[in-house]
Structure 1
Amino acid sequence: MTNTVTTSSAASPSATPTATDSPDQSVARSPRREAVIIGALSLAAMIVSMMQTLPVPILGRIQSDLGASSAGVSWVTTATLLSAAVFTPLLGRYGDQHGKKRTLVGVLVVMVIGSIVAALAHNLPLLILGRVLQGTATAIFPLALSVLREEIRPQKLPGAMALVSGTLAFGSGLALVATGLLTSAPDADYRNAFWMATGFAVLALIAVATLVPPTTHKSGGRVDLIGALSLGAALLLLLLAISQGHQWGWLSPLTVGVFVASIVMFAVWVWIEKIVDEPLVDMRMFVHRPVMMANLAGVVVGFGMFANFLGISYLAQLPRDLTGYGFDASILRASVEFLLPGAIVSLIAAPIGGRLIRLRGPRFVLGLTAILGAVPFAWLAFDHTHTASVIGAGMVIGAALSLGYAAMPAIIMSNVPHHQSGIANGINSISRSTGSAIGSAVVTTILASMTIANLPEGVPAMPSESAFTVTFATAGVAFVLVGLVGWLGLRPAHSPSASEQPPAA
């Protein structure tokens, strides 16, 4: 099957894939059946996104219960991120070659096992192992988009992809709220959160196994294990340095050495992909301008999401009587009152994003993402002392995240051949994870380095108000970059050069 790909589709009024990417008419599905498939894949994507942020509110309790150091307990979140970096591109490519549903079911089984291991763990190494297994499930998102490309009619595809993409921001916020609810009691066991994750993982497995049909397009071929391992090593080193730099010291020999090693490994990976017969990633696809810009947007939007979650969560929980600002919120109140509204708005905005993409194209939606992200972060930088300001800004940011997540897959699907959609969206998923890691590291570093000078003796260090001003202003600038990516990076190419042509199918 030959796939027609155009360089101008990223900026066209309709960002739907070409006619050659439509579902096989002999197995065309009814609107009701399509809705069932979209619902099952949206549920799976939402649950996977929950796994990434699930332990954030309970890291302190995990540290206390397991007797771990602060550096050790940080691996509870870092392990999932690193696991996703290694397995998402590999499993995305494997699904393209050997069947997407089979890969989806296998990944969900591993997520169930990982959730059980994390819930039963009574020491840190076993908990980290469970989190590594949970991290492999990040591959569900690119696989789900590839399934949609096969099973959903072209006119419905932008809305379907937007809904599945919008569940990512919603799931990340929902996990924070659900964990806050389950661990709000003083004597609550943090393992309840992982048992909840187990139940959700089983639900996702049942939904995908029973409601998603086997896909027919398989490219076949061998998996480029050497390319996968070299890319995984490069990403692991990069994310390791980003996520642990604030613990090791940003200019320490260890941090600098790991950054340098990651650059070397990326160079090795590019060299391998150019010489092997069946590369994991076609380098022409990787550097094709719309795809490259979508990945850059992924880094920036991922940064903004974690700046939003961490910045508002920290701010809400600060004691006003000691700092002069903050809202004295418990973990539960911070999650439900300050974070949940933004998560709900992100889910509501998802289908709106799909309609806008179909009518105006993803370039327009990226521009709207930039405005809806930059303006509320700028407002937060000036006014973060009133409850209404913080909650209202968080709601608008939630809409921006959902629109951004909707636009990126539309750009990619319009600019890569059918048989490369899984790996292309896998790389984009990794770009968002990388941005989230950078956001977490930057926010943590800012809040830890800009502290209040004259706190009472025995009171732990607390961030100064200026630290939040810098955090929110930085995130606002990041969203301005999203606008520049859409405006400059996705401009229509009237006479594209050979280097700008997408890879042939």
Structure 2
Amino acid sequence: MSHAPTPPAADARRETVIVFALSLAAMVVSMMQTLPVPILGLIRTDLGTSTANVSWVTTATLLSAAVFTPLLGRFGDQHGKKPTLVAVLGVMVVGSVVAALATSLPLLILGRVLQGAATAIFPLALSVLREEVRPQKLPGAMSLVSGTLAFGSGLALVATGLLTSGSDADYRSAFWMATGFAALALLAVVFLVPATRHKTGGRTDFLGALTLGITLLLLLLPISQGHEWGWASARTLGSFAGAAVMAVVWVLVERKVREPLVDMKMFVHRPVLMANLAGILVGFGMFANFLGVSYLVQMPEALTGYGFDASILRASVQFLLPGAIVSLLASPVGGQLVRHRGPRTALALAAGLGAVGFAWLALGHGHTASVIGAGVVVGAAVSFGYAAMPAVIMSSVPHHQSGIANGINSISRSTGSAIGSAVVTTILASQTIEHLPAGVPSLPAESGFTLTFWIGATAFALVAVIAGLGLRGRAGTRPAEGTPSAAAPAPEKASVS
């Protein structure tokens, strides 16, 4: 896209302001996903509910994101990205207030559903960047916005730990903090992000959105609740079977509808498909790191023979914050790597760093410096991975499909995070210490953490396979300049080059 009438210095200032506003919005939405993780125990005690019921505080956000992200990403492409962004951020503000004021679990879950809808911010933000940022600056801008996702997830854990560290801690303070951040992001988008010029128009494929939403619900629900329901229970197996059936229905619907929500040719286009598989694996690794390290360092060494007796506050600030900060600092580096060497190289580096970081955790989690150092390496890996995936997608799909394509990739990362959470929880619950003093609750064995970290290393090794084999060829190898690949129609290429 040309900005020839505007002086280069003014272009740079304008682009910086837009990237700042969208980075803030992306950071805030990523905070919403991990915000309640450290305070689920407080919520359970305060509202007098069970562990199984309180898990819906995290599950509800995931399911809401799965339903609304593809629909709103496509809606923004069709009817205007800024109005959609503003509306979604407004819903997030309302959801945060509802969660902060909730006096019952159903109301809190409602607030979390509204917060989850805001996950659509990320693909919308990338679509805005594609229109407003010069091609040579686009990889760096996308990488910075993407890097704030990993940073926001870690920041939420740290901030929640700080706010709930006292003896009279109130979990609602975390949701009031979320309200403030959401309002700040809303104001930034309203005043700093311009109205986008590209609108495709057309009908909204509500039938496609409905069938996709049901498919994702039936897939993600047993993944997130399988530990409580039992992995071999009728509910879990029935949900997975229902997801398979609905996936077939969704594909049939999208092949028949005149203006489908998802173009099936785009969906199975190799670079897009590989980016989505990488999204699942990187999302898995990020949550395996967050949860594995958080649980590990809080283990009472006197009872278990390992761990650091850390409080929630110490676990967040000392062990998780360094990795979150490095993930933010690594994002512009990832952008430069994508720009000069291509997203495939960035993804390969992410894979190598992730595998090394998790192997380090598996072999050396008995020392504070090792746990922190390995977490820093994994944080950089996640940031490079998040920088590479949007670049692969943006260079592989036409302009009018960028919102929905990045929306699907966002769902793939959320799916990976859900799988990571389920795997870590299941492993730690199944491998426990046999001989503990009477009255002491069950605690995970050290072997459970070692296995978790080796699985994380395997996930990133699979990312290396995707980078080396799945993205072999022209797509994903050239430096991303924000233009579609040969798969995109010629008019679309002309409009953004």
**2:337 maps to which residue?**
356
Q: 2 CA distance for matches of 1:140 and 1:465? A: 39
Q: Give the corresponding residue for 2:260.
A: 279
Query: In 2, are the aligned partners of 1:23 and 1:149 still within 8 Å (CA)?
Result: no
- Structure number with higher relative contact order (C-alpha < 8 Å, ≥ 6 residues apart): 1
1:241 aligns with 2:222: yes
Change in CA separation of 1:63 and 1:155 when aligned onto 2, cut-off 3 Å: same
Q: Give 1:168-207 correspondences, 5 Å limit.
A: 168-207=149-188
Match of 1:131 in 2: 112
Question: Structure 1: which amino acid aligns with 2:169?
Answer: A
Q: Comparing 327-336 with 25-34, which one deviates more in the overlay?
A: 25-34
The residue identity in structure 1 corresponding to 2:198 is: H
Query: Which amino acid in the other structure matches residue 111 of structure 2?
Result: G
Report how far residue 405 of structure 1 moved: 0.3
Q: Give the conservation status (yes or no) of the 8 Å contact 1:284–1:502.
A: no
2: CA distance, partners of 1:486 / 1:493: 12
Contact 1:92 1:142 in 2 (8 A): yes
Contact residue 45 and residue 164 of structure 1 kept, 8 A: yes
Structure 2 unaligned spans of 5+: 476-484, 493-497
Q: Retained in 2: the 8 A contact 1:288–1:501? A: no
Q: For 1:241 and 1:268, locate their aligned partners in 2 and report how far apart those are by CA, in whole Å.
A: 20
Q: Which amino acid aligns with 2:258?
A: D
Partner of 2:368: 387
| DSSP 3-state at the match of 2:135 | coil
SS of residue paired to 2:204 = coil
The TM-score normalised by the length of structure 2 is 0.95
> What is residue 49 of structure 1 aligned with on the other side?
30
Shift of 1:382: 1.1
Structure 1: distance between partners of 2:330 and 2:474: 30
| C-alpha contact (below 8 Å) 1:51/1:135 kept by paired residues | yes
Question: Which of 82, 87, 93 is the matching residue for 2:74?
Answer: 93
AA aligned opposite 2:93: V
The reply to whether residue 32 of structure 1 matches residue 10 of structure 2 is: no
Q: CA deviation at 1:24?
A: 5.3
Q: Distance in 2 between matches of 1:384 and 1:315?
A: 8
Aligned-pair CA distance for 1:30: 1.5
Q: Does 1:228 align with 2:213?
A: no
Q: Which runs of 5+ in 1 are unaligned?
A: 1-21, 495-499
Residues 148-195 of structure 1: CA deviation (Å, up to 9, x unaligned): 000000010000000000000000000000000000001111100000
Alignment partner of 1:156: what SS?
A: helix
Equivalence for 1:328:
309
Runs of 4+ with deviation above 2 angstroms: 22-29, 500-505
Q: Which residue matches 2:414?
A: 433
CA, structure 1 residues 158+503, in 2 after alignment: closer, same or farther (shift >3 Å)?
closer
State the 1:93 CA deviation: 0.1
Is 1:264 matched up with 2:245?
Answer: yes
The letter for the 1-side match of 2:91 is: V
Out of 347, 352, 358, which is 1:366 matched to? 347
Residue 388 of structure 2 corresponds to 407
Q: Tell me, yes or no, if structure 1 residue 300 matches structure 2 residue 281.
A: yes
- The letter for the 2-side match of 1:502 is A
TM-score scaled by structure 1? Answer: 0.94
1:347–1:99 distance in 2 versus 1, CA, 3 Å: same
The whole-number CA distance in structure 2 between the counterparts of 1:373 and 1:261 is: 34
Aligned length: 479
Retained in 2: the 8 A contact 1:83–1:132? yes
Corresponding letter in the other structure for 1:42? S
Structure 1 residues 27 and 273, CA gap change in structure 2 (3 angstroms)? farther
Q: Distance in 2 between matches of 1:77 and 1:84?
A: 11
Computed over aligned residues only, the root mean square deviation of the Cα atoms, in angstroms, reads 1.2
Per-residue CA distance 1:267-288 (angstroms, 9 max, x = gap): 1000000000000000000000
Give the letter for the 1:53 counterpart: T
Question: Paired residue for 1:110?
Answer: 91
- Measure the CA separation in 2 of the matches of 1:428 and 1:467: 30
Name the % identity: 74
Match of 2:487 in 1: 502
Match of 1:18 in 2: none
